[in-house]
Amino acid sequence: MEIQSHYKKLTLLLVLVTAVTLIAATGTDPVYTDPYKLEYPDYFGNRISIPENNPTTKQGVYLGRMLFYETKLSSSKTISCGSCHQQKLAFTDGKIFSSGIKDMPTKRNSMSLANLLWVRNFFWDGRAKGLEAQAKVPLSDPHEMGNYLDKAVKDLQKTKLYPDLFKEAFGTPEVTSDRIAMAIAQFERTLISANSPYDKYLKGKYKPTAQELNGMEMFMNSADAGKNIRGASCAQCHGTPKMYMELFHNNGLDSIPKDLGREEITGMPNDRGRFRVVTLRNIALTAPYMHDGRFKNLEEVLNHYNEHIQPSRTLSVSLQNRPNNVGGKNLGLTANEKSDIISFLKMLTDSTFINNPKFSDPHLSRK
Amino acid sequence: MKKYHISLVILVCLFLSTSFQNLLAQTAVKQAVVKVEGEVLKPLSLSISDLSKMKRADASMKDRDGNLQHYSGVPVFEILKQAGVTVGKELKGENLTKYMLVRCSDGYEVVFSLAELDPSFTSRVIILADSKDGKPLADGIGPFRLVVPDENKPARSAHEVTNLIIRFAKD
């Protein structure tokens, strides 16, 4: 009798120890075991933004990629981030305004997603600080994805696939709106474009044509008519190898802008008609141009900066009084200079980036 | 009794006029200010009228064409002193690794080390200017700009300044 009771106690103890060990083992289950190595050239610099609570991991990036292309995130189950941000077009959609659910047009032109690791304020008007905050905006917008985020959380939780992917990325299988945004942000941080002919030129591995070289010179220089220095002053705002600076300028599209731009966010009248200075990387792929997609091609863009700048109280100082000809009223570029600049801009097209299988729709290969 | 009536009317008028002023202020355009923040004891939010009450100074700088331009404003050092930044006698040791990040409304940013702004280190006076030749600064330049004398490039004489942020250089 006594022996039997001892056995019982022993069994109980064994069960307890096993249970505690199991709980401890799952509790210490290492979540962030596979950091994702973000590779980029030194000339991009290291002023990157990764929040401490959302390190970039292989599991997180994979989940983010799945979610980026997940149509279940929209109320109509037809739109994903990838609908308006298509890899072959450097993550734009070729439209003046994108179509959200029920073909409702968005307010502004779809932005290219490249080298976002360095961007701190997102959207044309800089309203979102950080990619995590950015990702939630289209997901919650009634016109873009049908304000479906909270319901999508429940839908994804019920799938076979996603709870496991969330567990791998974040330690537990709970699907939350924060985790969705965090995973998408992780994926977007990996969208690095740094293998264009211009990059090869910077690394001494590509010899530009005469047109490309002249275009580059014109792009980088500011005109000084008195000293006979010709230039288009593009680098004033689009300088540095990243081809943008984090600035919000009124680039003279309209004297009285229909879209107030950054003023809507800040409430300051000196922000009227100000929009983000976009990256020019892959610019040849991302037509139409400007926040309202008004220019069909790069020729129209060059013509705008050359001879159609509209004056206003908030017109960028960088776009005023830069004539190439003494006493000139506008930039004064010749037709050849304009086409040379376009040749240079085409050097920024990165075919590796738009064909990188790591950035493509993972749902296609799962089918 | 008549006197009492008159004073009552005056009081009511005064009350109404102040409430109207408040109403007007609420609907008026947002006022431009420069915020001083970060490693400060007392964060500041300075308007044009605040600057007019502070110790003022003039400064000149060359424009892009090399012509000398004259500005008036408040030495940045005075602003930092008022915000309780470690300048003057306290600018030593680790405080020498502090910098001032200047942010502008269009997102433009430049930095200065605190020692560049302190008269115990340098005689050059950098000002936060609010007027040029006695007039407010032009659109796209003001209402506040930095004027950094004796620099070969005007790039740090930032336009449309909105924030002066004091930080430690880390790593």
Q: What tens digit of pLDDT does each residue of A95-139 get? A: 999 988 888 889 999 999 999 999 999 999 999 999 999 999 999
Band (B15; pLDDT cuts 50, 70, 90): low
Q: Say whether residue B106 is in contact with chain A using an 8 A CB cutoff.
A: yes
Neighboring chain A residues of B103 at a CB cutoff of 8 Å:
none
A 10 A CB-CB count for A247 gives: 20
Residue B4 predicted with pLDDT over 80: no
How much is the average pLDDT of A152-178?
Answer: 96
Q: Which two tokens stand for residue B66?
A: 């090399």
d(CA A91, CA A353) in angstroms, rounded, equals 10
Parallel/antiparallel/unpaired status of strands B98-104 and B109-113: antiparallel
The count of CB pairs under 8 A between chains A and B is 34
A 10 A CB-CB count for B170 gives: 5
Band (A141; pLDDT cuts 50, 70, 90): confident
Buried b or exposed e, range B49-75, using 16+ CB within 10 angstroms? ebbeebebbebebbeeeeeebebbbbb
Give the range among A43-52, A330-339, B25-34, B39-48 with minimum mean pLDDT: B25-34
Chain A (288-317) residues lying within 8 Å, Cβ to Cβ, of chain B: 313-317
Band (B171; pLDDT cuts 50, 70, 90): confident
Closest-approach residue (CA) in chain A for B104:
A247
Parallel/antiparallel/unpaired status of strands B34-38 and B44-46: antiparallel
Residue A336 predicted with pLDDT over 90: yes
For A270, the closest of B105, B107, B108 (CB atoms) is: B105
Closest CA to B83 of B45, B55, B32: B45
d(CA A297, CA A308) in angstroms, rounded, equals 15
Mutate to test the interface with A, among B29, B30, B34, B106 (most CBs of A within 10 A): B106
How much is the average pLDDT of A171-185?
Answer: 97
Q: Say whether residue A269 is in contact with chain B using an 8 A CB cutoff.
A: yes
Closest CA to A75 of A17, A4, A155, A184: A155
Closest-approach residue (CA) in chain B for A224:
B65
Does the beta-carbon distance from A126 to B107 stay under 8 Å? yes
Looking at every residue in chain B, the average pLDDT score rounds to 88
**Contacts of A172 by beta carbon, 8 Å cutoff, 6+ apart:** A166
Band (A360; pLDDT cuts 50, 70, 90): very high
Q: What architecture (CATH level 2) is domain A197-349?
A: Orthogonal Bundle (1.10)
d(CA A348, CA A340) in angstroms, rounded, equals 13
| Main-chain phi, psi angles of A128, to 5 degrees | -105, 125
Neighboring chain A residues of B67 at a CB cutoff of 8 Å:
none
Higher pLDDT, residue B6 or A82: A82
How much is the average pLDDT of A143-147?
Answer: 85
Neighboring chain B residues of A315 at a CB cutoff of 8 Å:
140
d(CA A206, CA A219) in angstroms, rounded, equals 18
Buried b or exposed e, range A58-88, using 16+ CB within 10 angstroms? bbbbbbbbbbbbbeebbbeeebbbbbbbbbe
CA distances to A130, A224, A248, A316, B32 from B71, rounded to whole Å, are 37, 25, 26, 21, 19
Band (B112; pLDDT cuts 50, 70, 90): very high
- The amino acid sitting at A360 is S
| Main-chain phi, psi angles of A334, to 5 degrees | -85, 165
* CB-count exposure of residue A27 (10 Å: 0-12, 13-18, 19+): exposed
Higher pLDDT, residue A33 or A96: A96
Residue A351 predicted with pLDDT over 80: yes
Please give the angle made by the CA atoms of A104, A105 and A111, to the nearest 5 degrees: 135
Distance in Å, alpha carbon of A27 to nearest chain B alpha carbon = 34
For B139, the closest of A245, A268, A314 (CB atoms) is: A314
Please give the angle made by the CA atoms of B64, B66 and B68, to the nearest 5 degrees: 105
CA distances to A37, A189, B64, B72, B145 from B153, rounded to whole Å, are 39, 35, 8, 20, 15
A 10 A CB-CB count for A51 gives: 12
Best CATH choice for the domain A42-193+357-366 from the list 1.10.760.10, 3.30.1330.180, 3.30.230.10, 3.40.50.1970: 1.10.760.10
Domain range list for chain A: 1-29, 42-193+357-366, 197-349
Q: Say whether residue B35 is in contact with chain A using an 8 A CB cutoff.
A: no
Structure confidence at residue A15 (pLDDT): 61
Structure confidence at residue B30 (pLDDT): 81
Structure confidence at residue A137 (pLDDT): 92
- pTM of the model as a whole: 0.86
Q: Percent of chain A beyond pLDDT 90?
A: 83
Looking at every residue in chain A, the average pLDDT score rounds to 92
Does the beta-carbon distance from B30 to A249 stay under 8 Å? no
Parallel/antiparallel/unpaired status of strands B34-38 and B161-168: parallel
Band (A28; pLDDT cuts 50, 70, 90): very low
- Helix, strand or coil for residue B1? coil
How much is the average pLDDT of A329-346?
Answer: 97
Structure confidence at residue A12 (pLDDT): 63
Q: Give the 3-state DSSP-derived string for chain A, with helices as H, strands as E and coil as C.
A: CHHHHHHHHHHHHHHHHHHHHHHHHHHCCCCCCCECCCCCCHHHCCCCCCCCCCCCEHHHHHHHHHHHCCHHHCCCCCCCHHHHCEHHHCCECCCCCCECHHHCECCCCCCCCCCHHHCCEECCCCCEECHHHHHHHHHHCCCCCCCCHHHHHHHHHCCCCHHHHHHHHHCCCCCCHHHHHHHHHHHHHCCCCCCCHHHHHHCCCCCCCHHHHHHHHHHHCCCEHHHCECCCCCHHHHCCCCCCCCCEEECCCCCCCCCCECHHHHCCHHHCCEEECCCCCCHHHCCCECCCCCECCHHHHHHHHHHCCCCCCCECHHHCCCCCCCCCCCCCCCHHHHHHHHHHHHCCCCHHHHHCHHHCCHHHHHC
For A267, the closest of B30, B107, B139 (CB atoms) is: B30
Q: Percent of chain B beyond pLDDT 90?
A: 73
Instruction: Count how many residues are written for chain A.
Output: 367
Does the beta-carbon distance from B140 to A246 stay under 8 Å? no
Neighboring chain A residues of B169 at a CB cutoff of 8 Å:
none
